[in-house]
A and B are shown apart, each in its own frame.
Chain A
Amino acid sequence: MIKHLIKLIWNKKRSNFLLTTEIFVSFLVLFGVMSLMFYNYGNYSEPLGYQYENVWAVYYSRQDAPDSVYYPALDRARQYLAGQQEVEAVSFTSYNTPYSQTTMRWNASYEGRSVTSEMIAVDEDYGRALDIEAKEGRWMSPAEVATAERVVVLNRQAAEALFGQEPALGKMITFEEGGLAWKVVGVLGNFKLGGEFQVPKAVIFLNHKAHDHRADAMLVKVKPTAGAAFESSMLKELSRIVKGANIELSYLTGQRRTQHAFTKVPMILAGTICGFLLLNVGLGLFGVLWFAIRKRREEIGLRRALGATHTGILRHFVGEAAVIASFGMLVGLFFALQLPLLDVFGLDKQVYFQAAAASVLFLLLLVVVCAFYPSRQAARIQPARVLHEE
């Protein structure tokens, strides 16, 4: 029967051309949206690597205070925060805090291998503030931070890029040719600085005291009970301690929402356009089939006379719509599969295959749903009546 349907549709290829073209275009758009969704879902399902709830990021910008005044003031500010009942942990960090949409990328090397990695200057409490546990080794110790030792903690991606399958602990890496060596003391799992939708990338955490730029922010992990009153008094006190600096506070949860909007908005826009296109396809299919059935009443009556059942006629017309859609999708698949074959956007090939399969299934489902009602009407046609219509 499928062969018969293909033959029938092929012989009517001119009248089916527009519908096939519409399905082809819809397939490509749907494939694009699905690829984006699968790509984002794939990233989302990778562990984030830290906890962001009840973490506040405090940023301070230095005005004209000399180092001898500014850094001791920051240390006092840290001591003040660490002594507050509402505070569970506090850590110095560079300005590229999670979800902050800022970045600091350096090239790290080890014996001829190198990786461009996110660099985050931190202290011994960064792991505690974000609830991060080392998979191997440990976080940098208070003593190492206090004595400004050149120690680093790597995430999994950085360790794999620099050392492959070799153990990372104890190895010495550099950040510039002939530069000073930094000792690896710990390896983490993922650390997705840009948030859940980010591809896990290489991140290296280095002792902020051994780093020229020191820290420009603090991450403050507070208790869930810490409210606006504490926030207000804390900011006042910090302004008093670190004189001449502008101090700003952001919740990581708020920054996370903003960051997610950057990913979700294009996806929602593309999804909405795609939705309208699919609605158009659905209505088009419905209309074309409705018209075809009115035009082919005689054929339907004939098929019934020759032995087709009600269900047979229903299946015939739904099948015809599915075959027409399959023609459009086959051409679409040809173009879509060029993306993984030519590795155009550098995405995992599986994303494209999943998107192609989902697009095919979705369009087939749409076709079946839209074809069902007109096909049911076709199945109800009385053969005795239509075979005598002139």
Chain B
Amino acid sequence: MISLQQVEKVYRTKTVETLALNNINLHVDKGEFLSIMGPSGCGKSTLLNIIGLLDEPSKGEVAIAGKPVHNFRDKELARLRNEKIGFVFQSFHLINDLSVADNVELPLLYRNVSARERRRLAEEALASVGLSNRMRHFPGQLSGGQKQRVAIARAIVGRPSILLADEPTGNLDSVMGNEVMDILLGLNREHATTIVMVTHDEGMAHRTNRLVRLFDGSQVQ
């Protein structure tokens, strides 16, 4: 489902060159739940950004669903992100001026989906994370755990085959963190969604199928 070959990422400024990722070779199968661990600054988020087509590698090749993406233009990348990939972030990234339902509908705005169908799919996604009763609320009225569940509903509303989660439980207490993890595991089990999760939490990482460790931009496990 996801394939990275000899991926390297270098950040250059006028004076400094930083090697963020070094020769990463990674294959994630369809339906696999992979966690990425490592100390802060080891390149976990950079790797996730490259997988999520939000950043380009300096070298190497990335393929999503069997398609190499290095020649893709902005429009094609945006379409691939929209249709195949869902994102869950540590700090939720909900738009405070939109209701919960409107936040969840966001990915569908960039597809040709009617307003009625968008609302139906959003209701369905919110129901799957147990937030049907919060549709008309605004993010400011929700707890951290609820916000993350809304973010998960937004990530899955377009039924992507890949879910990328960047420390999804990082801002939550253990109870809420476990709830969110249960939802992710459920999605992986019931819908065969391929999930790549960056985490600092060993416990959460051990609940996934496979663990990859990074250190100073290199894969060590």
A-side residues, CB < 8 A to B, are: 1, 3-4, 7-8, 11-12, 298-299, 301-312, 382-384, 387-388, 390
B52–A305 contact, CB under 8 A? yes
Partner of A308, one of B52, B87, B110, B154: B110
Which of B31-39, B93-101, B123-131 is found at the contact surface with chain A?
A: B93-101
Nearest A residue to B85 via CB reads: A305
Task: Report whether over half of chain A's contact residues are helix, strand or loop; otherwise say mixed.
Answer: helix
Partner of B98, one of A7, A382, A383: A7
B78–A309 contact, CB under 8 A? yes
How many B residues, CB 8 Å from partner?
29
Nearest B residue to A310 via CB reads: B74
B8 at the binding interface (Cβ < 8 Å) = no
Shortest Cβ distance from residue A133 to the other chain B in the assembled complex, whole angstroms: 65
A309–B75 contact, CB under 8 A? yes
A299–B109 contact, CB under 8 A? no
Nearest B residue to A316 via CB reads: B109
Give 7 closest A-B pairs by Cβ, nearest first: A307-B82, A307-B110, A384-B49, A384-B55, A384-B54, A309-B78, A11-B97
Shortest Cβ distance from residue B137 to the other chain A in the assembled complex, whole angstroms: 13
- 19 pairs, A vs B, C-beta closer than 8 Å: A4-B102, A4-B109, A7-B98, A11-B98, A301-B93, A302-B95, A303-B106, A304-B54, A305-B87, A306-B81, A306-B87, A306-B110, A307-B81, A307-B83, A307-B110, A382-B55, A384-B54, A387-B93, A388-B45
Which chain A positions have C-beta within 8 A of B52?
Answer: 305
For window 21-57 of chain B, which residues contact chain A by CB distance below 8 Å?
A: 45-46, 49, 52, 54-55
Shortest Cβ distance from residue A377 to the other chain B in the assembled complex, whole angstroms: 16
Contacts A299-B93, A387-B54 supplied; 5 other A-B pairs, CB < 8 Å: A306-B87, A307-B111, A310-B74, A382-B55, A387-B93
Shortest Cβ distance from residue B211 to the other chain A in the assembled complex, whole angstroms: 22
Which chain B positions have C-beta within 8 A of A3?
Answer: 115
B97–A312 contact, CB under 8 A? no
Which chain B positions have C-beta within 8 A of A4?
Answer: 102, 109
Which chain B positions have C-beta within 8 A of A310?
Answer: 74
For window 44-84 of chain B, which residues contact chain A by CB distance below 8 Å?
A: 45-46, 49, 52, 54-55, 74-75, 78-79, 81-83
Bound Cα distance A11, B137 (Å): 12
Nearest A residue to B154 via CB reads: A306
Nearest B residue to A13 via CB reads: B97
Nearest A residue to B54 via CB reads: A384
Which chain A positions have C-beta within 8 A of B83?
Answer: 307
Bound Cα distance A11, B91 (Å): 22
A8–B109 contact, CB under 8 A? no
B106–A306 contact, CB under 8 A? yes
Which chain B positions have C-beta within 8 A of A303?
Answer: 106
Shortest Cβ distance from residue B89 to the other chain A in the assembled complex, whole angstroms: 6
Which chain A positions have C-beta within 8 A of B55?
Answer: 382, 384
A387–B106 contact, CB under 8 A? no
B107 at the binding interface (Cβ < 8 Å) = yes
Which chain B positions have C-beta within 8 A of A1?
Answer: 109
Which chain A positions have C-beta within 8 A of B154?
Answer: 306
B93–A309 contact, CB under 8 A? no
Bound Cα distance A387, B87 (Å): 11
B89–A387 contact, CB under 8 A? yes
Given A305-B52, A390-B91, CB of A8 within 8 Å of CB of B98? yes
Which chain A positions have C-beta within 8 A of B78?
Answer: 304, 307-309, 312
Partner of B107, one of A7, A8, A307, A309: A307
Which chain B positions have C-beta within 8 A of A387?
Answer: 54, 89, 93
Interface string of B104-121 (1 = CB under 8 A from A): 001101110001000000
